[in-house]
């Protein structure tokens, strides 16, 4: 009995091991029986506008539990087609990632229907220091003169997609800034006309915006007065009131002195008779000649408000 115990332990271990092997085999068989489908995937990273060749593709088993929209099961169906978006290694090739049949490749295959590509000359400043990369969105701002011949800067286009910087359309890799001399934008025909006019009448600048920002900012443009504000009016300086001297007191009026005015004195009755006699005799002597009537002197005396006329006494001869 003492020798049977080790054999019992060994037998138990063998049974347990066999059971584990059977269970593992069943689990593997179950995993192998998961439904799959054949899908064409990329062998390496492929850029936008790439024309597909057989050496870029391979067919793999794709779990049916993760369905794809319009996948391809054979490479022959996608050979010579052009990618309109970037595809990474191992990603499936589906219909939405391919340009329309007949596209020759290049940048034109990336453009959507009704869209155009226009290139804008930039530098380190205009091109946002090289941070405007393919796949980013920018606003286009122009600096020119308005109708009053005053400088104005205004955003004329918003949310414009950057297709390429220089000749690079790749959106893969690190988002490092690339300072280039030209940037290609995706626009509508009307937007292309505005850009062409704007760069002929002024200078263009690209304004980088968030990809999540889809709003529109209606601006009226910025002018010089917006930088410094309206000109401040200098308040008039107060003028010191002229000191008006009170009029000097008029000197006290001196006592009025009597004014002597000489006036003709009325003739006496005797003088009137003498004048009439002389007039008769004169008329007889010289017809038509009237002899002047003699007049006696009189004095008009004014004392204050009183006025009198006096006759001086005749001195004896």
Cβ(120)–Cβ(199) under 8 Å? Answer: yes
Q: Where are the domains of the chain?
A: 33-110, 111-226
Which CA distances in Å does 107 have to 121, 132, 194, 227? Answer: 18, 18, 22, 41
Q: Please count the CA atoms within 13 angstroms of the CA of 42 that sit on its side-chain side.
A: 20
High-pLDDT (> 90) share of the chain, %: 21
pLDDT value for 263:
47
Q: Which H helix or E strand runs over 63?
A: strand 57-63
In whole angstroms, give the CA distance from residue 147 to residue 125: 27
Confidence of residue 112 (pLDDT cuts 50, 70, 90): confident
pLDDT in tens, 12-63: 888 888 889 888 888 877 766 567 889 999 999 988 888 899 999 999 988 8
Handedness of CA 130, 134, 137, 141 (dihedral sign): positive
For residue 165, give the nearest of 177, 152, 153 by alpha carbon.
177
Output 158 or 35, whichever has higher pLDDT: 158
Cβ(181)–Cβ(123) under 8 Å? Answer: yes
Question: For residue 294, is pLDDT > 80?
Answer: no
Calculate the average pLDDT of the chain: 78
pLDDT value for 107:
76
* Three-class secondary structure of residue 158 per DSSP: strand
pLDDT value for 236:
65
pLDDT value for 227:
83
* Residue 218 in tokens: 């209606």
Output 287 or 270, whichever has higher pLDDT: 270
pLDDT in tens, 242-281: 555 555 555 555 555 555 445 455 566 666 776 766 666 5
Question: pTM (2 decimals)?
Answer: 0.51
Question: CATH for 33-110?
Answer: 3.90.1210.10
Cβ(102)–Cβ(82) under 8 Å? Answer: no
In whole angstroms, give the CA distance from residue 198 to residue 192: 10
Out of 3-12, 181-190, 232-241, which region has the weakest mean confidence (pLDDT)?
A: 232-241
pLDDT value for 317:
46
In whole angstroms, give the CA distance from residue 194 to residue 186: 13
Out of 73-82, 156-165, 256-265, 274-283, which region has the weakest mean confidence (pLDDT)?
A: 256-265
Question: For residue 200, is pLDDT > 50?
Answer: yes
């Amino acid at each position: 009995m003492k020798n049977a115990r080790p054999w019992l332990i060994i037998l138990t271990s063998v049974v347990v091991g066999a059971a584990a092997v059977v269970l593992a085999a069943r689990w593997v068989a179950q995993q192998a029986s998961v439904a799959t489908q054949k899908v064409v995937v990329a062998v390496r990273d492929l850029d936008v506008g790439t024309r597909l060749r057989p050496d870029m593709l391979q067919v793999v088993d794709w779990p049916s539990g993760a369905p794809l929209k319009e996948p391809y099961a054979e490479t022959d169906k996608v050979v010579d087609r052009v990618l309109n978006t970037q595809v990474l290694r191992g990603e499936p090739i589906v219909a939405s990632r391919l340009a329309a049949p007949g596209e020759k490749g290049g940048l034109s295959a990336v453009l959507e229907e009704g869209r155009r590509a226009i290139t804008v000359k930039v530098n380190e400043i205009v091109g946002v220091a090289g941070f405007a990369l393919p796949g980013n969105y920018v606003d286009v701002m122009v600096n020119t003169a308005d109708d009053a011949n005053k400088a104005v800067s205004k955003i004329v286009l918003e949310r414009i997609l950057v297709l390429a910087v220089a000749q690079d359309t790749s959106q893969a890799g690190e988002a490092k800034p690339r300072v280039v001399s030209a940037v290609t934008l995706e626009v509508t025909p009307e937007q292309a006309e505005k850009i062409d006019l704007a760069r002929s009448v002024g200078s263009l600048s690209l304004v980088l915006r968030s990809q999540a920002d889809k709003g529109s900012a209606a601006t009226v443009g910025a002018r010089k007065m917006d930088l410094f504000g309206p000109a401040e009016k200098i308040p008039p300086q107060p003028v010191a009131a002229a000191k008006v001297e009170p009029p000097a007191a008029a000197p006290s009026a001196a006592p009025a002195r009597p004014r002597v005015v000489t006036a003709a004195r009325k003739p006496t009755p005797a003088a009137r008779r003498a004048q009439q006699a002389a007039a008769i005799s004169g008329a007889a002597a010289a017809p038509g000649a009237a002899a002047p009537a003699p007049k006696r002197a009189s004095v008009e005396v004014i004392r204050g408000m009183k006025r009198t006329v006096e006759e001086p006494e005749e001195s004896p001869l």
